[in-house]
Amino acid sequence: MTASVPTGSNPLQALATVHQSPWLDFIRRAFVEDGSLAQLVNSGDIRGVTSNPAIFEKAMGEGTEYDPQMRDILAHETLSPGALYERLAVTDIQAAARVLAPVYEQTKGRDGFVSLEVSPYLARDEAGTAHEAARLWADVNAPNLMIKIPATPQSIPAIRQTIAAGINVNVTLIFSLAAYRDVVEAWLSGLEDLKARGGDLSRVASVASFFVSRIDGKIDAAIDRRINAGDKDAQSLRDLRGKVAIANAKMAYATGRTSCRPRAGKRWKMPEHRPSACCGPPPAPRTKPTATSCM
C-alpha cells in the first residue's frame, strides 16, 4: 500500500518516503473504544488494520467488554457460537473502519483499510468462501473494508469471483512463489471480469499478504537439525539462517512487478483502472510476519 504522511523522527511515519504503509495486525473492542486506535491513526503511526479469527478469539476470551452486546443479542435470538462471533466481529470492524475512514478519504481509496477474514472452516470450499465474502462485505457495509481470503488452491477461484464482484480483497496465507503467481492471476482475471461487466475498477483495492517470518521459523529449524546432526555443510547452512524468507519475499516482489510490465501490458489498457493498482507486486508482501503490497 502507499501512504502520504508527514515524515519526521518517527520511523513508522518515515516509511511513507519509500511508499510503505504500516498496518496493525490487532483489534480489540476496548482498544477502539478508548481512542487508542484513533491516536495511532491520527499520529500517522499506522494506516490500516488487519484481523483474523485468532486475534478475535483472544480479544473476546479475555475481559468483559463484549459481554453487554452478547447479552443483548442472546436476549432476543439464539445463535450458534460462530454466528455470535461474527456479529461481535462485524461490530468491531465497523468501528475500526470509521476510525480509518479519514485515511481512506485522504488517500482517495489507496489506504486506510481494515480487514475481516472469512471463516477458516471454508478454506477449502470455493463456493462457501465466495458466498461468505459477499455476505461479510454487505454486513460491514464500509468502502474501506477488505475481505481476507486464504490462498488455498480451492480459494483461488473465489478470490477471482470476489474481486469480480467489486469487493476489496486481502489475500492471506501466501508462502510460496507458485501460490503468489496463482493469486496474481486471480487478481488480474477478477479485474478483467469486473471490467467486462461494466464495473468501476477504480473502486477496487487489493493486497496480498506474503508470509515471511513463519518461513524462516520452519527453515531455520530444519537447518539447526542438520547442523546438530553434524552435516558436512554446517557452515554454509549457518550462513543461510534468517535469510531464506527475505530472499523468498524479494522474489515475490519481482514477480509482482513483472505482472505490471510490458509482458502484461495489454491487460492494463483499461481506462477506469487507477494507477495504484500496479504500484507494487499486485498481491504482495506485508510487514511483520507478512509482507503486503497493493495488487
Report d(CA 96, CA 53) in Å as an integer.
Answer: 16
Among 213, 210, 233, 212, smallest CA distance to 223 is for 233
> What is the DSSP pairing of strand 169-174 with strand 206-211?
parallel
Report d(CA 137, CA 145) in Å as an integer.
Answer: 7
Residue 195 a catalytic site member = no
Sign (positive or negative) of CA dihedral 63, 290, 163, 269: positive
> What is the DSSP pairing of strand 206-211 with strand 290-294?
antiparallel
**Per-residue cell: 32:** 477502539
State the residue for C-alpha cell 555443510: 233
Longest dimension (CA), the chain: 68
Report d(CA 198, CA 2) in Å as an integer.
Answer: 27
Which residue is catalytic, options 148, 218, 250, 288? Answer: 148
Catalytic residues: 148
